[in-house]
Amino acid sequence: MFEVVDLHVSYGQSEVIHGLSFKAEKNETLAIMGRNGMGKTTLFKSLMGILPSHATKAEIDGDSVNEIQTYQRVAKGLAYVPQGRMIFPAMTVQENIETGLENSTSSEIPEDIYALFPVLYDMRKRKGGNLSGGQQQQLAIARALVTNPKVLLLDEPTEGIQPSIIKDIANVLNDIRKMREITIIVSEQVLSFTMAVADRIIVIDKGRFIHEDLREDVDAEKIKGYLSV
């Protein structure tokens, strides 16, 4: 569903992503794990076209998204939930979700959005800034989903969210995959969350992939070692 070959990203003369290659299959959840500053957010921003990058190949469902603009990548089936959520605090929940419809073939919020996020239906007239961190994360995911993506990128979705809500976010991601059959790529530092959602884990360190495992083969202590400072 999503394939990237030999991706390079630089800030000025300094290269920070060093020739990364990966595949994510249809209906697979792939987790990219690593400490702060190891390149997760840079990778995701480059995949969305927010940061300039160079790759030998970047395809979604056989369609090239290499060296095209962000809005064109959205049209080809890529959606992005940024680190920090980036919702519009002065707009209502419903208005926030509707901003995602600008790049959608539909002008109406799909029914399954509120089925996935019933709390957002209850709060649809409330301003986004009045929601809790966990509710804002759900709102950011809902906004991304209205574009009906084939691939959903989530950058550190558990950041700043209390442990009980992290489980809810994991359940929602698993429900999304069942309902939409989409590919999910998530960057994360919380191993318990990753183990609840991911089929496969890749560890990134200083802009390079250094370890990969299927979930059933994961050595938790080994992964924790990569994530510790």
> pLDDT value at position 229?
64
SS3 state at 154: strand
Query: Is residue 152 over pLDDT 70?
Result: yes
The DSSP bridge partners found for residue 92 are 127
How long a stretch of residues is the chain? 229
Residue 34 near residue 189, CB atoms below 8 Å: yes
The Cα 81–Cα 83 span in angstroms is: 7
Q: What is the pLDDT of residue 219?
A: 92
Burial code (b: 16+ CB inside 10 Å, e: under 16) for 168-185 equals: ebbebbeebbeebebbbb
Band (pLDDT 50/70/90 cuts) for residue 100 is: confident
Domain count, the chain: 1
Domain that holds residue 222: 2-227
pLDDT at residue 103, rounded to an integer? 63
Report whether pLDDT(180) > 90: no
Q: Residue with structure tokens 């605090």?
A: 89
Strand 200-205 vs strand 29-33: parallel, antiparallel, or unpaired? Answer: parallel
Strands (DSSP E) along 2-128, which ranges? 2-11, 14-24, 29-33, 57-60, 63-64, 78-81
Q: pLDDT per residue over 9-47, tens digit each?
A: 998 889 999 999 999 999 999 999 998 888 999 999 999
What global pTM score does this model have? 0.91
Domain CATH number, residue 151? 3.40.50.300
> CB of 6 within 8 A of CB of 19?
yes
Distances (CA, A) of 153 to 43, 85, 218: 10, 12, 22
For the cut 80, the answer to whether the pLDDT of residue 107 exceeds it is no
The single-letter DSSP state of residue 202 is E
Average pLDDT, rounded, for the chain: 91
pLDDT for residue 111 = 83
CA distance 215 to 29: 10
Q: What angle do CA 173, 188, 213 make, to 5 degrees?
A: 90
